[in-house]
Amino acid sequence: MAPDIEVDSLDVWYGQARALKEVTLHLGPGKVLALIGPSGCGKSTFLRVLNRMIDRAPQVRVKGAVRVGAFEVLAGDVDVTALRRTVGMVFQQPNPFPMTIFDNVAYGPRIAGLRQMAKLRQTVEDSLKKAALWDEVRGKLRRSAMSLSGGQQQRLCIARALAVNPQVLLLDEPTASLDPVSTAKIEELIVQFKTHYTMVIVTHNLQQAARVSDAVAFFEHGRLVEMGPTHDIFTAPRERRTEEFLTGRV
Amino acid sequence: MRADRIAALVMKGALALFIAVWVMVAVIVGAGAWRFVSANGLVGPLVSSRWSPLAAHYGILAFVVGSMAVTGLALVLAAPGVLALSVTGARILRGAPQRAFIQILTLFVAVPSVVYGWWGLSVAVPLIRRLTGTAGFGPLSAGIVLAVMIVPTFSIMALQTLRQVPSSLVEGSLGLGASEDQTLWHVILPASRAGLSQGFLVAVGRALGETIAVQMVIGGQSRVLSLLKPGATLTTQLLTDLALMPARTPGHDALDFMALWLMILMAVLVWLQSRVRGMSRG
């Protein structure tokens, strides 16, 4: 069951620089939220709070409350490992590990302790099928993941994320480095995944946001300017800044 | 234009000189080794450990085994330190402490080997003496000294390699619920394999070729491997006997034979290194 996401008064500082200011929002279970806004507005920061990847940034401070399903994400005693298995992440550049296709997908389950080969094989096959890559790589699972094209690598990374049975998927500009055909395939996946996973996607491609998302959040200078159903945001934004951004008057 | 021509001439001259020196060494050592092999055969000296040039016994087994043992021991002793230092410097420290750490390591690389030998004499040898009741001189002490000596070189190379692992790979692993340790063992180290192997080969080369620091603590006797009793290696025996045996004597030819073996071993290492460099990640 896909969880909901609730964020209350979220503040993030990098050293003295404030990256997010009092962000509050709620995303229903199984919904797709697109984060849009100019570069450096805090979209990626917001995304990286949701699986605590933000912890890796030097001198970072995070304040507020974030709940993903049953996880109190910012609580001191939260099991970050369990959180990250539940909240999967796909990055801007495809980042397959320098190992075989099979080992890439099996990485997460193995890390979590799965050793039985039969189960591993089944998990790998299922995950590759869900990521619509199975037909292209069956019989080639022992090849290096580096031999795949960029678009295939990105779907491999999606398969890798799915292999640990996440309930939430964070996608950080997942198609920014891909050609239009590969982009279309990834977007198709996102639409298929709806209701199975709650998803948050950062994108600079407004058409993409319109095509795949249920809700859109517009960020500027670390503030959440406006969030609403995708159709409403694109046809009748409430805020002037949102309208200016959508019409290219930055 | 004229300056260019002069520069080109200087470069070519330097290259010619370099090649000439190299050929000369190869010819001198090769000729001596050839005479030695003609007189004693190729295999006999390699399987005998009786080194007594005055009695015309030229078994070099003890030195070959000594070189390999001391090198192997050094690598085994150095490995944990290398791993700890390189991981600390590459993945744990950041900013100013990291820069200071790397500078200190570099400083240790620049310490002359005679100083490491001195450290061996004043620390390692007495320590082994106290712990074992032996004289303290021997391959064990030599291995310890070499380990201390190769740790900085190997660590710096390993550290630079580990630093180059893209953070996208690290985050990919962490994002799947892997711990920092799991990420280190399953992603960072495998992704650094090529660079680590190269550092390993450089360390082997340094240990195998090291002479003075080893000579200061190994004791200098022809004996097939006893870690705690005085022994010798190819390099230390070359050092001690070179002055004793005039050129073109059979004993000197035997040293040429040993030198040729060292050169061949080193050439194999260099060749391995170039192969590793050519391999892609993963």
All residues of chain B having their beta carbon less than 8 Å from the beta carbon of residue A58 are: 94-95
Q: Do the Cβ atoms of B83 and B156 come closer than 8 Å?
A: no
CA distance B166 to A93: 11
All residues of chain B having their beta carbon less than 8 Å from the beta carbon of residue A161 are: 175-176
Chain B interface disruption, residue of A78, A79, A97, most B CBs within 10 A: A97
pLDDT at A133: 94
pLDDT at B272 over 90: no
Superfamily of domain A5-246: P-loop containing nucleotide triphosphate hydrolases (3.40.50.300)
- Over the stretch A185-236, which tens digit does the pLDDT of each residue have? 999 999 999 989 999 999 999 999 999 999 999 999 999 999 999 999 999 9
Q: Do the Cβ atoms of B222 and B251 come closer than 8 Å?
A: no
Least confident of A33-47, A140-154, A226-240, B50-64: B50-64
Q: What is the mean pLDDT of residues A27-41?
A: 94
Q: Do the Cβ atoms of A23 and A7 come closer than 8 Å?
A: yes
DSSP A106-140: HHHHHHTT---HHHHHHHHHHHHHHTT-HHHHTT-
Token pair 């997460």 is found at: A108
Q: Does domain B51-278 have CATH number 1.10.3720.10?
A: yes
Size of interface A-B (CB pairs under 8 A): 73
Say whether A228 sits in a helix, a strand or coil.
strand
CA distance B248 to B266: 25
Q: How far apart are the first and last CA of chain A?
A: 39
Q: Give the rounded distance of the alpha carbon of A158 from its chain centre.
A: 10
- Over the stretch B239-261, which tens digit does the pLDDT of each residue have? 988 888 887 788 889 999 999 98
Residue A225 backbone class (left: φ over 0; alpha: ψ -120 to 50; beta: rest)? alpha
Say whether A77 sits in a helix, a strand or coil.
coil
> Quick check: A89 and B187 CB within 8 A?
no
Best CA proximity match to B120, nearest among B155, B82, B70? B70
pLDDT at B271: 85
Q: Do the Cβ atoms of B146 and B70 come closer than 8 Å?
A: yes
All residues of chain B having their beta carbon less than 8 Å from the beta carbon of residue A157 are: 172
Question: In this prediction, what percent of chain B has a pLDDT beyond 70?
Answer: 98
Q: Nearest 5 degrees, angle CA A36-CA A41-CA A42?
A: 90
pLDDT at A12 over 70: yes
Which are the contacts of B16, defined by CB distance < 8 A and separation ≥ 6? none
Chain A residue set in contact with B, beta carbons under 8 Å = 51, 53, 56, 58, 81-82, 84-85, 88-89, 91, 93, 95-99, 107-108, 111-112, 144, 146, 157, 160-161, 164
Q: Do the Cβ atoms of B144 and B120 come closer than 8 Å?
A: yes
Q: What is the mean pLDDT of residues B19-30?
A: 91
- Over the stretch A52-83, which tens digit does the pLDDT of each residue have? 999 999 899 999 999 999 999 999 899 999 99
Q: Please, what's the b/e burial string for B173-189 (b: 16 or more CB within 10 A of its CB; e: otherwise)?
A: bbbbbbeeebbbebbbb
Amino acid (1-letter code) at residue B97: P
pLDDT at B226 over 50: yes
- Over the stretch A162-180, which tens digit does the pLDDT of each residue have? 999 999 999 999 999 889 9
Distance from CA of A64 to the nearest CA of B (A): 22
> Quick check: A81 and B177 CB within 8 A?
yes
pLDDT-based confidence at residue B43 (cuts at 50, 70, 90) = confident
Host H or E run for residue A101: helix A101-111
Q: What is the mean pLDDT of residues A148-156?
A: 94
Q: Residue B134 corresponds to which tokens in the numbers above?
A: 């032996």
Best CA proximity match to B52, nearest among B241, B264, B243? B241
All residues of chain A having their beta carbon less than 8 Å from the beta carbon of residue B182 are: 111
Least confident of B52-56, B115-119, B146-150: B52-56
Domain limits of chain B?
51-278
- Over the stretch B192-208, which tens digit does the pLDDT of each residue have? 988 898 889 889 988 98
pLDDT at B278 over 60: no
pLDDT at A250: 63
Question: In this prediction, what percent of chain A has a pLDDT beyond 90?
Answer: 94
pLDDT at A119: 95
Q: What is the mean pLDDT of residues B34-48?
A: 87
A26 DSSP β-pair partners: A6
Q: Residue B217 corresponds to which tokens in the numbers above?
A: 């603590």
Domain limits of chain A?
5-246
pLDDT at B48: 83
pLDDT at A157 over 50: yes
- pTM for the whole thing? 0.81
pLDDT at B281 over 60: no
pLDDT-based confidence at residue B277 (cuts at 50, 70, 90) = low
pLDDT at B71: 92
Least confident of B16-20, B118-122, B174-178, B245-249: B245-249
Q: Residue A29 corresponds to which tokens in the numbers above?
A: 């279970």
For strand A168-172 and strand A198-202, is the pairing parallel, antiparallel, or unpaired? parallel
Which are the contacts of B162, defined by CB distance < 8 A and separation ≥ 6? B86, B87, B90, B91, B188, B189, B192, B195
- Over the stretch A111-148, which tens digit does the pLDDT of each residue have? 999 999 999 999 999 999 999 999 999 999 999 999 99
User: In residues, how long is chain A?
Assistant: 250
